[in-house]
Amino acid sequence: MEMVLSAAIGVLAASGIWLLLRPRTFQVIVGLCLLSYAVNLFIFAMGRITLGAPPIMPRGGFIDPTAYADPLPQALVLTAIVISFATTALFLVVMIASRGLTGTDHVDGQEREP
């Protein structure tokens, strides 16, 4: 599964980077979303793949940390999901406002000069 997951991260990141370099605002937004999936999965993967052992503890008693998934990357990613949502929303609004102001959806606010 390691192979599949890392390939998946690579595909998501590549699609994201390609879109990031496109000239249309909408492409860049979709690119940022894809890139954030890739990065979230990457951070999550730092905790390694643990199957069937979510970090939910019994109440009290001795706890063997190796029997559970690493909670730290999960907490980090949870935060990252919310923040990337906020970023997407902000960028989307900037996109709408810029389109209204400049009349174009090019990232520079004007069409490329030939």
Partner 1 sequence: MGTNRRARSRPRFVSSEDFCRKLRRKDTLGGMIEENLLLILVGLPFAAAIAASTVRATAHGAAAWVSGLLLAVGLAILALLHAPISDGQVLRATLRWVPSLGLNLTFRMDGFVWLFVALVFAIGILVLVYARYYLSKADPVPRFYAFLMAFTGAMVGMLMSGNILMLVVFWELTSILSFLLIGYWHQGQAARDGARMALIVTGLGGLCLLVAMLILGQIVGSYDLDRVLAAGDVVQADPLYPLVLGLFLLGCFTKSAQMPFHFWLPGAMAAPTPVSAFLHSATMVKAGVFLLVRFFPVLGETDLWFYAVTGTGMLTLVLGSVIALFRHDLKGLLAYSTISHLGLITALAGIGSNGAILAAIFHIVNHAVFKASLFMAAGIIDHETGTRDMRRLSGLIRFMPVTGALAIVASAAMAGVPLLNGFISKEMFFAEAADWHNGTWLDNSLPYLATIAGIFAVAYSLRFIATVFFGPEATDLPKVPHEPPSLMRRPVELLVLVCLVVGILPGLTLGPTLNLAAQSVLGADLPYKDIAIWHGFNLPLVMSLVALGAGVALYAALGGRIATGPEGPPLLHRLRAQRVFERILLSLTWKLPRLVHRTFGTERLQPQLRLIVLLTIAAGFATLWGSLRQAPSPLATGFNPAFALMWAVGAVCAVGAAWLAKYHRFASVVLLGGAGLVTCLTFAWASAPDLAVTQLLVEIVTTVLLLLGLRWLPKRREEIEEDKLLPARIRRARDFVIAVVGGAGLAGVAYVMLTWPLIPNVGDWFLRNAYSEGGGTNVVNVILVDFRAFDTFGEITVLAIVGVTVFALLRRFRPAPESIMLDEEQAGLDDRTVADALLVPSVIMRWMFPVMIVLAAYLFFRGHDLPGGGFAAGVTVSVAFLLQYLAHDVRWVEARLTVLPIRWMGIGLLIAGATGVGAFLFGYPFLTMHAQYVDVPLIGQVPAATALIFDAGVFALVVGATVLMLIAIAHQSLRTTRMRERDSADTSEKEAA
Least distance to partner 1, CB of residue 80, Å: 10
CA distance 11 to 77: 19
Residues 80 to 109 in contact with partner 1, rule: CB under 8 A = 81-83, 85-90, 92-97, 99-101, 103-105, 107-108
Least distance to partner 1, CB of residue 61, Å: 9
CA distance 114 to 55: 56
**Residue 69 binding partner 1, by CB under 8 A:** yes
**Residue 70 binding partner 1, by CB under 8 A:** yes
CA distance 13 to 51: 24
**Residue 11 binding partner 1, by CB under 8 A:** yes
Alpha carbon dihedral 88, 77, 6, 31, in 10-degree steps, equals 0
Closest alpha carbon to 17 in 33, 41, 2: 33
Number of shown-chain residues binding partner 1 (CB under 8 A) = 91
**Residue 63 binding partner 1, by CB under 8 A:** yes
**Residue 1 binding partner 1, by CB under 8 A:** yes
**Residue 44 binding partner 1, by CB under 8 A:** yes
3-state secondary structure of 24: strand
**Residue 32 binding partner 1, by CB under 8 A:** no
